[in-house]
């Protein structure tokens, strides 16, 4: 197992002996093979590896969007192996924020409303949610675009709204699948700096799947996966 020995805020998520197969024998495809991984709070972890090596599958298992075929998944200190579907979903809603390659914003809502709905769902009053959303848009540098629809924002700006949404959720785990893939290098840097700040300022565990080696210097940990197995884990900074 790859265990980080540097001081940290604790373990936000842990996979033990996680394997995953798609399909059924004899046409089953083993995509993850006995993966052990600890994700630290307050750190930015990059997950790198060739196309088809299992990165997205691993991220969706960590983010409780998919149950593995075998193995233990712990999020927020809780072993979820024997949990019901509804517990699994409840922990996901509470603990996990996702950022996808194409930001997955709600197209009919403005930037501010996209962030506000997350605060609404937590039971905040409309006034508190609206001003909270505005504050988060300020943090990602988009206060002046609050009333724009996603279609009226650039790709980099849409990703920054997606990050503001992740900030609005209370979760300890922020997972991003190739968040900079469709961005120019300047926007990619802004997005990565914001993700870095989620780890540094907010103490969240941030896991980013990427092919972009330019991001390595911004990471605390770089985990490399090949053919469904973790082959190395090294410090990036």
Ligand X SMILES: Nc1ncnc2c1ncn2[C@@H]1O[C@H](COP(=O)(O)OP(=O)(O)OP(=O)(O)O)[C@@H](O)[C@H]1O
Instruction: Give the footprint of ligand X on this chain (CB under 6 A).
Output: 22-23, 29, 31, 49, 51-57
For the CB of residue 31, give the shortest distance to ligand X in the complex, in Å. 4
Which of 56, 187 has the CB closer to Mg ion? 56
Q: Is 180 in the site for Mg ion (CB under 5 A)?
A: no
Considering only the stretches 54-62, 137-145, 149-157, 197-205, report the one whose residues sit in contact with Mg ion under the rule CB under 5 A.
54-62
- The DSSP secondary structure of 171-218, one letter per residue, reads -SEEEEESTTTTS-HHHHHHHHHHHHHHHHTT--EEEEE---GGGGGG
For the CB of residue 132, give the shortest distance to ligand X in the complex, in Å. 33
The vertex-23 CA angle with 47 and 103, nearest 5°, equals 40
> Which member of 56, 116, 190, 210 binds Mg ion (CB under 5 A)?
56
Helices then strands (H, E): number in the chain? 6, 10
For the CB of residue 193, give the shortest distance to ligand X in the complex, in Å. 23
Considering only the stretches 55-63, 93-101, 115-123, 153-161, report the one whose residues sit in contact with Mg ion under the rule CB under 5 A.
55-63
Which of 29, 237 has the CB closer to ligand X? 29
Other C-beta atoms within 10 Å of 142: how many?
22
Q: Which does 57 bind (CB under 5 to 8 A by kind): ligand X, Mg ion, none?
A: ligand X
Which of 23, 170 has the CB closer to ligand X? 23
* Under 8 Å between Cβ of 225 and 231: yes
For the CB of residue 21, give the shortest distance to ligand X in the complex, in Å. 9
List helix spans (H) across the chain.
55-62, 85-95, 111-121, 126-139, 155-168, 185-200
List helix spans (H) across 96-125.
111-121
Query: What is the contact surface with Mg ion in residues (CB under 5 A)?
Result: 56
């Amino acid at each position: 197992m790859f265990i980080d020995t540097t001081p940290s805020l604790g373990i936000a998520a842990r996979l033990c002996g996680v394997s995953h197969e798609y399909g059924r024998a004899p046409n089953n495809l083993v995509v993850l093979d006995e993966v052990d991984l600890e994700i630290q709070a307050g750190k930015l972890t990059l997950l790198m590896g060739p196309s088809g090596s299992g990165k997205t599958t691993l991220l969706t298992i960590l983010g409780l969007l998919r149950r593995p075929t075998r193995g233990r998944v712990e999020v927020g200190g809780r072993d979820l192996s024997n949990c019901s579907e509804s517990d699994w979903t409840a922990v996901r809603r509470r603990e996990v924020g996702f950022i996808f390659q194409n930001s997955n914003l709600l197209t009919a809502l403005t930037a501010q409303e996209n962030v506000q709905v997350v605060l609404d769902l937590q039971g905040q009053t409309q006034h508190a949610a609206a001003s909270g959303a505005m504050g988060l848009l300020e943090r990602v540098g988009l206060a002046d675009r609050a009333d724009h629809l996603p279609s009226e924002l650039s790709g980099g700006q849409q990703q920054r709204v997606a990050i503001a949404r992740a900030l609005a959720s209370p979760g300890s785990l922020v997972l991003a699948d190739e968040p900079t893939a469709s961005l120019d290098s300047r926007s990619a840097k802004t997005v990565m700096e914001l993700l870095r700040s989620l780890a540094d300022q907010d103490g969240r565990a941030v896991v980013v799947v990427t092919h972009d080696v330019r991001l390595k210097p911004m990471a605390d940990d770089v985990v490399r996966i090949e053919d469904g197995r973790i082959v190395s884990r090294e410090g990036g900074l």
